């Protein structure tokens, strides 16, 4: 069965959605991997428990992650406790010149005891071609980790 890479994101203006779609395109380059792209407000603990790897994407809103993604983590914390330990994950943040939201995201990964499989990716506003390539590489890398079980 194909390994599932969950991509949870929040996006009001579309920049982070475009970044999430690039990550999904990278996942789909890998045989035996499938991308599950879900808006954070529609995602839940079951999605996080059942995936083989997860990517979390957010805009930087007031130097923190978007409320929609925070809500997802809040709803998932107790129901997923001890069920996602060591699960490989990756992070990306779109921002307007700051990007400090990444700090809160890293803290959440630690709280959930997941394993950051790559350095977080910061993207300035709407992803340009270079950023899209990096986002695709991130998705491809995580899909390989998921399929190899590394
Ligand atoms: C309410 C709001 C607050 C923002 N605060 C910050 C900020 O603190 N630091 C920063 O670098 N960019 C900030 N930005 C810019 C966004 O992070 C950036 O444009 C992002 O790519 C928007 O993503 P989206 O199109 O997916 O909503 C803010 C934008 C909005 C709408």
The pair of structure tokens assigned to 76 is: 């998932």
**Confidence class of residue 1 from pLDDT cuts 50, 70 and 90?**
confident
Q: What is the pLDDT of residues 78-127, one digit of tens each?
A: 999 999 999 999 999 999 999 999 999 999 999 999 999 999 999 999 99
Residue 29's CATH number: 3.40.50.360
Q: What is the pLDDT of residues 43-76, one digit of tens each?
A: 999 999 999 999 999 999 999 999 999 999 999 9
Pocket-testing residue among 9, 61, 121, 125, ligand 1, by greatest number of atoms within 8 A of Cβ: 61
Closest C-alpha to ligand 1, atom 18: 95
> What's the total number of domains in the chain?
1
Q: How far is the CA of 11 from the centre of ligand 1 (A)?
A: 9
**Residues spanned by the domain of 59:** 3-148
- Could you give the angle at which helices 67-80 and 101-112 cross, rounded to 10 degrees? 10
Q: Which residues approach ligand 1 with their CB closer than 6 A? A: 11-16, 59-63, 94-99, 125
**Measured between alpha carbons, how far is 135 from 80 in angstroms, rounded to an integer?**
27
At residue 117, the pLDDT reads 97
Q: pTM value?
A: 0.98
**Confidence class of residue 149 from pLDDT cuts 50, 70 and 90?**
confident
Q: How far is the CA of 66 from the centre of ligand 1 (A)?
A: 9
Could you tell me if 143 and 32 are in contact, meaning their C-beta atoms sit under 8 angstroms apart? no
Which ligand 1 atom is at minimum distance from the Cα of 9?
26
Which ligand 1 atom is at minimum distance from the Cα of 18?
26
At residue 150, the pLDDT reads 54
At residue 65, the pLDDT reads 98
Average pLDDT, the chain: 97
The pair of structure tokens assigned to 132 is: 């899209």
At residue 100, the pLDDT reads 97
């Amino acid at each position: 069965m194909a390994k599932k890479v969950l991509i949870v994101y929040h996006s009001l203006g579309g920049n982070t959605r475009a970044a999430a779609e690039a990550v999904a395109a990278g996942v789909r380059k890998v045989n035996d991997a499938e991308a599950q792209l879900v808006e954070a407000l529609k995602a839940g603990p079951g999605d996080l428990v059942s995936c083989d790897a997860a990517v979390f994407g957010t805009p930087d809103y007031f130097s923190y992650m978007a409320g929609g993604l925070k809500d997802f983590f809040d709803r998932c914390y107790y129901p997923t406790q001890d069920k996602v330990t060591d699960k490989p994950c990756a992070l990306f943040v779109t921002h307007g010149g700051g990007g400090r939201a990444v700090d809160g995201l890293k803290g959440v990964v630690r709280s959930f005891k997941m394993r950051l499989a790559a350095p977080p990716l910061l993207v300035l506003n709407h992803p340009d071609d270079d950023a899209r390539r990096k986002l695709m590489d991130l998705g491809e890398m995580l899909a390989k980790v998921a399929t190899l079980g590394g």
